[in-house]
Structure 1
Amino acid sequence: MSFESLELDPVLLQAVEELGFTRPTTIQTQVIPVAMEGRDIMASAPTGTGKTAAFLLPMMQHMIDFPRRKPGPARALILTPTRELALQITEQAEALAAHTFLKVASIIGGVAEETQLPALEKTVDIVIATPGRLMQYIEDERFDSRDIEVLVLDEADRMLDMGFIGDVDRIAAEARWRKQTMLFSATLEGAGLKSFSEDLLKDPAEFYAEPPRSERKKIQQLVYFADTAEHKFKILKHLLQQEEVQRSIIFVKTRERLAELVSQLQGSGIDCAWLRGEMEQEKRVEALQRFRSGKVTILVATDVAARGIDLPDVSHVFNYDMPRSADTYVHRIGRTGRAGKKGCAINLVEAHDVGMMERVERYTEEKMMRRVVDSMRPQHKISKVATKKKEKKDEEKKTDKKPKEKIRHRVTKNKGKPDWAKKHAEKAAKVAAKDEAK
């Protein structure tokens, strides 16, 4: 299928071509035709599947087909969990609307109010916002939701995880005259998300778009086993110094772990930038700018801090700590191997991480390749832990044990007693012999 076959306006097709999009992705071919019919959408679309254009294009097509008659507030609202993701969507929306009359604006935290005045006071068609900051303007009666026709919730699962459900419910209620709602999430599992979607969507069309296997195969997944935390850091430091590791993101579980690892790296002469939750916007922007510009080639981040960021040309993702869930793992490694390029995900696994590693392998249906650094081989043979259960089962199958014979109770209950049948037969024979003698 081509973008032309989706019956998009020529001005949108021109922008699509300028962005370098050649053919629509799976989620785009599924969503765009149905969304253009006005139906509510509920879609599972992981990072890197092209979901942003999947909701922007039909939204823009609707506004081109039905232009506004007079100036007014936003006609479409897109809610996202993070500022970085909001800015990325804003950038793509402006690019797709480059040859149209549509105006795009954003409302996010950490930005001076003056820069957001167009979204609040002037005519604007599409607003991309984070729930917290938008709710502030709604409570101050500075944002008008009455003209919103299309509401999009991007990365809805992350918004729930980050505690935005109350704000999103209130914003949706403010936009109650809308004609269409689209919800996108990395996974559609979980009672919370299902209950949330039932309140917002009316008879939605559901789509599940996994990245094509050819795309997933572009990310090589490796495992290095480590005996201790010290051993793991030595392996990480060695791998970071390899020529093929050009730009990398290192994921850790907590802010405490991040502070510890950053200190270790800098103490070893390895410069890096870092992102953590509840970080001042100015410092976040500075860290991302240092990484994007190439001043540093290593970014250490927690999952919360890294949500929604899109960084180009990341050659490697390191899971210094394994994530708490398999879908978070997929989000992490999706930061590499983007835009058709190959990438590499390296997992540094201690004994307590083996269970999570196995769950990830079952979830992705892909086996991670085991690797070792010759001079840093694990001494306690931790890799055997991962296959212990399998080996045990194999041994049980191979062992040629004869099945234990089942002994019936009636055979053993008279064990040690006379054979009464034989005795009776002998007695009968004696009686018969006496009778014959007479």
Structure 2
Amino acid sequence: MKPTIPLGLFELKEEMKQRKHQRMTIKMRSFMKRIGQKRRTELMVATVNKHLKRLKVRAYSSTGTQWHRLKMEEWVTFSFQEVEHSPHLIQVRTSDLPFRLYVHQEEALRRLDETPMPFSGILSIPTGGGKTVVAVHWLLKEGVNRGRKVLWLTHRHDLLDQAFSAIRTLATDDLVKKGKAISCRLISSDETHESVKAIQSTDQIVIGTNQSIAGQLSLLQENWLKANEDILIVVDEAHHAVSETYEHILTTVSKKSNPTILGLTATPFRTLEEERGLLKKRFSDDIVYKLDVATLIARGILAEPFFKELKTGVKKLPTLSVADIQHIHTADRLPPKVEHYLTIHQARNALIVKEYRSHKHVYGKTLVFAMNRKHAILLTRQFIEAGISADYFISGEEKKEEALKRFKDNELDVLINVNMLTEGTDLPDVQTVFLARPTSSAILMTQMIGRAMRGVEAGGTASAQIVHFHDEWPETISWITPNELYQDEEAEMKQRFVENQRVPLTISIIDKWYKSLPKEEAEAHRFVETIPVGVYSFIDPSQRQSIDILVYEHLATAYESWLANMVVVEKHEVAAMLNRTAKSYFREKRHTFGFHEQDLAALYHYFSQTKTKPTLRWLKDRDKVDITRLAEEITQRRLYGEEKKHFIDTHWNEEQSFIAVYFGFNKLEFRKRLELELIRLEEPELFSRVE
């Protein structure tokens, strides 16, 4: 059937209904194809607007440009016109049995009960350990049940929905003994949520993003808070609490009310004394309760994860525009051309099937996450052709419910699915998860691998196989990898140097490195200290230029801490903010080599324009230019005369070495610097005053 405007818009509306937030974002080119049009005439625009109005659907863009004036490669969003802006009333259900808590959750709640209120402390439980359940249990019992208002703060829209879902699940009469319903508002810029203006004094829980709350904080206080009122505040992802936006909210609310502040984090802090002073200052009562991944695995609550990453060999992806990359980060959706390219990529799909077939005895019952319906069908066909019992399941398609039942009954070895996460389907005995679709959302990644992470105590398995199929993407895209979510601090430091997390030295990086360090300043330090450990690489969105910011070891922690807490400020505040950043994060290090205020400005400008924080790419070839290591080896091996010369010449002429490149193929300069390193080793006291 040839597509028409009425038919195309009707199908688009039906597809919107199936989506979680009931909206859809596609490129103008795809939209025009859906409605069977090639050109935008006045008559066509009027006809589309008429049908949109009849269907009660509106079309708009994030830039504010009218839909019919967008370029073919730009994005247009469709959503329902009438968004209900009433409080989210959560019904308090009658419960025959209390919600089952694990031992560590009971321990955490007991510790919270023993801590005198008001307090300001942290609850630290790893991903998958149920810290949200503990926090919600506590706020319902000690907050709503006792007439205290609750403010839940987070920095992401998806975390708002997750918190609301947990509150709805736990809202039973054994925790809330007064009232039959709870008035709960979701506050963010998302169309499915509300603004601060909608909050009423009778609302019991407000869940909001820090940006939306901070933007109208005075209105929140005026309409919702009473003077000297007791209030519970939950800060999701507590490491963000030291940012200026959070600090403004918490300090301002504390002046009017009496807050008890609970920070949630999956990071296994040992003690806040070891962390930044600002975090310790905000959570003055330190850690209320903490638990590590090893304990959850030992108790059988989590399965022991075994991560495997397979490179698909996909390198020549369709070119991505800046708008495409921004859309990936904000909406976690691949552009249609890229999604189609990966969907039909025969070698990629063959690798997925081959990996399972070759290790079937290890993987067992496996859930595959596909990109879209077509991808699920193609993979299913290939699995079956390989002699593996498989089928696919698409969320919202009733005709495929039989496939899900067969998988539960162990009649299928493999189930390929799309959007199963919204189904609430219980599949405790899944042994393996194949991640055949990329995601930039930590929440989605957690949900996907969580399908296999249930331990024996939780009705699952003792171990879980997590297989991630990795494509070669531009460095500017920050995809979430599964092992990022289940690593302790020590493992995180090690992970920074894993092969796939690092980038090679390039001629351009070496050239920038050489030119950025004055000779006298460089010679005042051991050579190894002057080799960058990583680089922030991104494209300036306004100048369309590639930016490389070299990061040295003594500055890396300061950069990462600042970026973790970075927020957008008003234009007139940027200079002052950058000045404060230099003083508070870099302190005395701002006077050392490698620090440049323009680098801070470039990083902030990129974040403010794209709402994406650049990723520090750690360099993997530092040893190829490490003259300090050469000097140490010469000293240890006691090389002199011809032996020493032969050793030096070998490294100078080595094809894989960047030493010659760094010194501009000036061997004399290289020998001078090497001798300086040797003297530093032989007589370090000569350099004590310099260093």
Change (3 A) 1:308 1:235: same
Q: Which residue of 1 aligns with 2:391?
A: 271
**After alignment, is 144-153 or 284-293 more displaced?**
284-293
Per the normalisation by structure 1, the TM-score is 0.52
From 224, 228, 234, the counterpart of 1:175: 224
TM-superposed deviation, 1:221: 0.8
Q: After TM superposition, give the deviation of residue 220 of structure 1 in Å.
A: 1.4
For residue 250 of structure 1, the aligned residue among 361, 365, 369 is 369
C-alpha distance in structure 2 between counterparts of 1:146 and 1:383, whole Å: 51
Could you tell me which amino acid in structure 2 is paired with residue 221 of structure 1? F
Structure 1 residue runs without a partner (length 5+): 1-13, 69-73, 104-122, 252-256, 276-282, 369-381, 408-438
1:225 matched residue in structure 2: 311
Q: TM-score, normalised by structure 2?
A: 0.36
The answer to whether residue 177 in structure 2 is matched with residue 101 in structure 1 is: yes
What is the CA–CA distance in structure 2 between the aligned matches of 1:76 and 1:189, rounded to whole Å? 19
SS in 2 for 1:271: strand
Return the letter of the residue paired with 2:141: Q
Following superposition, the deviation at residue 146 of structure 1 comes to 2.1
Distance change (3 Å), C-alpha of 1:64 and 1:170: closer
Conserved in 1, the CA contact under 8 Å of 2:121 and 2:262? yes
1:185 corresponding residue in structure 2 = 236
Secondary structure at the residue paired with 1:231?
helix
**TM-superposition CA deviations, 1:217-270 (whole Å, max 9, x none):** 71111122222443331232345563644252526xxxxx43442242354454
Q: Secondary structure at the match of 1:61?
A: helix
Bigger Cα Rg: 1
Tell me: CA distance 1:405–1:212, structure 2 relative to 1, closer, same or farther (3 Å): closer
> What aligned pairs does 1:141-160 form with structure 2 within 5 A after superposition?
145-148=200-203, 151=206
TM-aligned CA distance change 1:166 to 1:384, over 3 Å = closer
Q: How does 1:235-314 map to 2 (within 5 A)?
A: 235-239=351-355, 242=360, 244-248=363-367, 250=369, 257-268=371-382, 270-274=390-394, 283=396, 294=407, 298=415, 300-301=417-418, 312-313=427-428, 314=430
Where 1:19 maps in the other structure, the secondary structure is: coil
Residues 378-389 of structure 1: pairs in structure 2 closer than 5 A: none
Matched, 1:319 2:549: no
Q: C-alpha separation between the residues in 2 aligned to 1:148 and 1:198? A: 22
Distance 1:176 1:134 in 2: 21
Map residues 26-175 of structure 1 onto 2, 5 A cutoff: 28=109, 31=112, 33-34=114-115, 37-39=117-119, 47-62=127-142, 66=146, 81=158, 86-94=164-172, 97-98=173-174, 101-102=177-178, 123-124=180-181, 126-127=182-183, 130-131=186-187, 135=194, 145-148=200-203, 151=206, 174-175=223-224
Aligned partners of 1:180 and 1:212: how far apart in 2?
29
Residue ranges of structure 2 left out of the alignment (5+ in a row):
1-95, 268-290, 298-302, 315-344, 385-389, 506-618, 635-646, 650-669, 674-691
Q: Which deviations, in whole Å up to 9, do the C-alpha atoms of 1:96-144 show, x marking residues without a partner?
A: x4486345xxxxxxxxxxxxxxxxxxx42x34565566749985xxxx8
Contact 1:188 1:194 in 2 (8 A): no
Root mean square deviation of aligned Cα: 5.6
- Corresponding residue SS for 2:309: strand
Asked if the contact 2:372–2:418 (Cα under 8 Å) also holds between the matched residues in 1, the reply is: yes
- 8 Å contact from structure 2 (residues 120, 262) kept in 1: yes
Change (3 A) 1:213 1:353: farther
- CA-to-partner distance for each residue in 1:262-291, whole Å, 9 max, x for gaps? 24235445432346xxxxxxx399999985
Whole-angstrom distance in 2 between the partners of 1:198 and 1:15: 42
> Separation in 1 of the partners of 2:214 and 2:402?
31
Matching of residues 392-407 of structure 1 within 5 Å: 393=623, 401-402=647-648, 405-406=671-672
Q: 1:349 aligns with which of 437, 455, 470?
A: 470
Residue number in structure 1 paired with 2:599: none
Q: What is the percentage of aligned positions where both structures have the same residue?
A: 10
| Amino acid of the structure 1 residue aligned with 2:102 | F
383 and 238 in structure 1: CA distance in 2 versus 1, 3 angstrom threshold: same
**Residues 290 and 77 of structure 1, relative CA distance in 2, 3 Å threshold:** farther
Give the aligned residue type for 1:91.
T
Q: How many residues align?
A: 326
Letter in 2 for 1:298: L
Change (3 A) 1:315 1:88: farther
SS in 2 for 1:337: coil
Ranked by relative contact order (alpha carbons within 8 Å, sequence separation 6 or more), the top structure is: 1
Contact 1:45–1:184 (CA under 8 A) maintained in structure 2: no
Q: Distance in 2 between matches of 1:86 and 1:236?
A: 36
For 1:171 and 1:299, locate their aligned partners in 2 and report how far apart those are by CA, in whole Å: 46
1:336, distance to aligned residue in structure 2 (A): 3.1
Match in the other structure for 2:274: none
8 Å contact kept, 1:249–1:298: yes
1:199 and 2:255 are equivalent in the alignment: no
Q: Offset of 1:37 from its aligned partner?
A: 1.7
SS in 1 for 2:142: helix
Deviation at 1:347, TM superposition (A): 0.9
The aligned counterpart of 1:22 is 103
Amino acid at match of 2:117: E
CA distance in 1, matches of 2:379, 2:405: 19
Is contact 2:391-2:416 (8 Å) kept? no
1:22: Cα distance to partner? Answer: 2.6
Whole-Å Cα distance in 2 between the matches of residues 346 and 51 of structure 1? 26
Query: Deviations along 1:38-59, whole A, 9 cap, x unmatched?
Result: 4467767664232233223333
In 1, the alpha carbon distance for the partners of 2:433 and 2:220 equals 36
Q: Quick check: 1:316–1:343 contact (8 Å CA) kept in 2?
A: yes
The aligned amino acid for 1:230 is Q
Whole-angstrom CA distance in 2 between matches of 1:357 and 1:133: 26
Cα distance in 1 for partners of 2:351, 2:405 equals 25
What CA distance in whole angstroms lies between the structure 2 residues aligned with 1:146 and 1:329? 37
Question: Aligned letter for 2:230?
Answer: K
Go from structure 1 to structure 2 and tell me whether the alpha carbon gap of 1:321 and 1:64 turns closer, same or farther (over 3 Å shift).
closer
Kindly provide the CA deviation profile for residues 132-173 of structure 1, in whole angstroms up to 9, marking residues without a partner as x: 66749985xxxx8423455456xx58xx7xx99989997787
